[in-house]
Structure 1
């Protein structure tokens, strides 16, 4: 009976081992899982939403097939949605029953070509097919945009693959259990085959056999029952000669019930990109300007800050494009080359300069714009538009650091340079509000948390340049000193003309960003008009070659209004501070000259 049980145990054990091995080989799940979406392409844009990439934390591959050329671009989910806007588009929204799910939204049948948009962190051009390994550029939600040229339908044949869960937890348990059953069965078989030995000289009553095999009676002297020898023991009927082997580790039930190991928990830190302005040490520049040292952000700034809308790679690409456009336009004296990357008063100033240089070849060229190296930056975290980015660069042709202000008016527009100002000697570029590199925008009319509102700050500087007002509220700076001296000299030296100055703030040009100390930086253009009229009737006002090139006349008996654009970059202290308003960077350029 014991032998039959042992055989059964061995058979069951071998089956368990075979089943465990089969789970790891023949029945093993595939190493990679996949899901696809295929539909007739009709919309000009396809968007792969963030939920699709949630199928695996580390490794997701995206395969796209199309008829012809197409673009794959990566951007923040909100930026992609904003760019798509009212356009017809196909959205891949996630998985269901092992398949990619998609929806089609009706809308505009054509969109601008999305290639080269500043919203994209990266983009790839392909023909026919493309294999892309998904890696999120930074924290937050990211999407993929697929498009052709904005007119033709976007690709809709998309497959997503990721590492499959190939773990078979019962496989090892079956193999171990099967091995134990086989060992137990073998042990029982060995025991069952051992002969049952009888103790010599210890015949039991009723079991004595004679020579013929019959039962013989024996008379024994002594006690009625003879004791067993000390070295032998009677084996009760039905009990095995040896006990079955016990399982290793079962001597202590408590120890056997403990887990064989600890489960480790790995925490992945969130990665974030610091803007260049968060450098750990101060850098003293040739012109006496200083980049900021690391500073602790104020609680107010931390609460309102978010992710920067432009990553470092984007900013480098944008600055390269801006500098290249400005350089090409300056060389050709062609304002049309500025249009894609320069706007506002910065565009108007260069247009005027090209006109003057066409009439007067000796006129000075505008100050060049350096793409880099980028010494510091401040990037808006505002999700809406317009958006503002500020950089500080220093190049070979422009060794004095420049504060360059870039603005993106809407999702489908690229960033354009609105101002390029030289930092004044002794000034410090303010620290961004948080270590993430982003800084929130500040409402232009808001004074809460600031010593002055952004609008009020620029107006104070304009009034100070006009008449010296607010002298005790604005820090001493070389620009104000020079402008006020030049104006006094002009009035004093021109006896035949009455000269006056008036300034107004171009409120449409203003932008403001929060700083680490709770203050703000403010950028804006001031329109400065110098009016010259003859002091006596019939007198003549002579115009300089630059003014004459714009006015179309060399002189006037009625008078002339000469307009300049004065770009200023200011630092506004936080509320309650005893600091002064600081002029960090400036630029002045001739815009127009009109006869009265």
Structure 2
């Protein structure tokens, strides 16, 4: 993919180049083998000449006892003169010298490409130019087996913490919005046994495992888990983060998927996917804006300026805490009290991981705040259920504020398409309650 910086024009001249492999690793060994055979052939040739000469040595004449003639050289030797003897071994030794010399000179001209290279093959290095950038795949944050083990350990810690209602244990494997929900739940259940525990983390099967494509930290992994991936029970979508190599992966978002939710096509686990910037312009709406936009929809529904970006069909959260629910709750209050709704979005909380087709899975959290205050002198606001347990207030003349944390998972299409943002799942629950100050 080739993109610009959002200000200047995109590159107009792009080229893809790669080096040609001209190495011939078998040439060197073959040259050496040829030289060995050449030397062997010369040795055999010399040996053949020597053998032939020996076979034609001097023969004695038959008859007569004529003494052998003594040549002058022998007489001179007998007289003590030093006469050089012409031997054959010297000439034979000199024959091998040019052969070895020629072979050495020939092999000296061979480059390292003529020999097999040890170790791994050279790794291509991406290079950046003014007209484009060459990018190579990076390693992934975790393998499928590692993600499976991570989920199993998270499930064990979650069960232990939920049973003991111990927030410190939960903090070992939870963070952010997922931890806030569990901490509040433990406090509420400590005072009201009728309140349900948070949904247990399923560790039966990892249906989807999508790690971030990176070799550095922090790291992100998206996983869909269920007791049985083929069953019709609603699975959970986990967004896990690891701050450093020494830290454990922690669940930042634990979302129950909608019954009809369809996870878009994702990259294989072995390849992974890129983590997108929270303000990226490649999506129909930036990840750091999606929670604010959806909060406006929960408040105004079709009257929201963001309504055209989101798909309404299959959105179960709108009927749960949307405008219709809020209007109905407001109408149910007596004339001596009023209710106000507002939304808050934590900074830098959205996590966006790329999907096939240039879209993204975006995890975000939203705080829905309900504030009930009396409108008549002497009137009080009474609390009940989870709000009463968490706030510790039975009634107040000032009013009660309750915050509901909402964890969201969206599919966000790429910019320039007519596709809608789809809510894939959510988890919501009371995270804070107090008397209005």
Q: TM-score, normalised by structure 1?
A: 0.50
Which of 153, 156, 161 is the equivalent residue of 1:321? 153
**Which SS does the other structure have where 1:506 is aligned?**
coil
Which residue does 2:193 correspond to in 1? 361
- 2:362 is equivalent to residue 522 of structure 1: yes
Q: Take 1:461 and 1:336, find their aligned partners in 2: how far apart are those partners? A: 32
Q: Answer whether contact 1:464 1:471 (CA < 8 A) is retained.
A: yes
Q: Take 2:133 and 2:385, find their aligned partners in 1: how far apart are those partners? A: 50
Which of 154, 162, 165 is the equivalent residue of 1:330? 162
Cα deviations across residues 322-345 of structure 1 (Å, max 9, x unaligned)? 222111101111111112211112
Q: Take 1:406 and 1:379, find their aligned partners in 2: how far apart are those partners? A: 9
Q: TM-score, normalised by structure 2?
A: 0.67
TM-aligned CA deviation for residue 186 of structure 1: 5.7
Which residue does 2:425 correspond to in 1? 585
TM-aligned CA deviation for residue 486 of structure 1: 2.9
**Which SS does the other structure have where 2:423 is aligned?**
strand
- 2:15 is equivalent to residue 181 of structure 1: no
Q: Answer whether contact 2:208 2:223 (CA < 8 A) is retained.
A: yes
Q: Answer whether contact 1:304 1:440 (CA < 8 A) is retained.
A: no
TM-aligned CA deviation for residue 478 of structure 1: 1.6
- 2:223 is equivalent to residue 379 of structure 1: no
Structure holding more strand per residue: 1
- 2:226 is equivalent to residue 394 of structure 1: yes
Cα deviations across residues 457-492 of structure 1 (Å, max 9, x unaligned)? 221111111221233321121222322243233223
Gaps of 5+ in 1: 1-166, 198-210, 214-261, 272-299
Q: Answer whether contact 2:367 2:406 (CA < 8 A) is retained.
A: yes
Which of 307, 323, 328 is the equivalent residue of 1:489? 328
TM-aligned CA deviation for residue 581 of structure 1: 1.0
Q: Take 1:302 and 1:570, find their aligned partners in 2: how far apart are those partners? A: 31
Which residue does 1:418 correspond to in 2? 252
Number of aligned residues: 341
Which residue does 1:467 correspond to in 2? 300
Which residue does 2:416 correspond to in 1? 576
Q: Answer whether contact 2:210 2:268 (CA < 8 A) is retained.
A: no
Alignment of 1:428-443 (within 5 A): 428-432=262-266, 436-443=270-277
Q: Answer whether contact 1:566 1:586 (CA < 8 A) is retained.
A: yes
Q: Answer whether contact 2:139 2:215 (CA < 8 A) is retained.
A: no
Q: Take 1:270 and 1:585, find their aligned partners in 2: how far apart are those partners? A: 45
Which residue does 2:99 correspond to in 1? none
TM-aligned CA deviation for residue 353 of structure 1: 0.8
Cα deviations across residues 286-311 of structure 1 (Å, max 9, x unaligned)? xxxxxxxxxxxxxx999586322223
Cα deviations across residues 53-83 of structure 1 (Å, max 9, x unaligned)? xxxxxxxxxxxxxxxxxxxxxxxxxxxxxxx
Q: What root-mean-square deviation, in Å, do the aligned CA atoms of Structure 1 and Structure 2 show?
A: 3.9
Cα deviations across residues 150-172 of structure 1 (Å, max 9, x unaligned)? xxxxxxxxxxxxxxxxx999699
- 2:350 is equivalent to residue 510 of structure 1: yes
TM-aligned CA deviation for residue 501 of structure 1: 1.6
Shift in CA distance, 519/270, structure 1 to aligned 2, threshold 3 Å: farther
Which of 278, 288, 291 is the equivalent residue of 1:455? 288
**Which SS does the other structure have where 2:357 is aligned?**
coil
Q: Answer whether contact 1:519 1:573 (CA < 8 A) is retained.
A: yes
Cα deviations across residues 25-44 of structure 1 (Å, max 9, x unaligned)? xxxxxxxxxxxxxxxxxxxx
- 2:312 is equivalent to residue 478 of structure 1: no
Q: Answer whether contact 2:191 2:389 (CA < 8 A) is retained.
A: yes
Cα deviations across residues 509-567 of structure 1 (Å, max 9, x unaligned)? 22222222122222111011111223533333332221111111223333211111000
Alignment of 1:36-435 (within 5 A): 177-178=39-40, 181=43, 185=47, 189=51, 192-193=54-55, 303=135, 306-382=138-214, 385-395=217-227, 399-432=233-266
**Which SS does the other structure have where 2:189 is aligned?**
helix
Structure holding more helix per residue: 2
Q: Take 1:322 and 1:434, find their aligned partners in 2: how far apart are those partners? A: 23
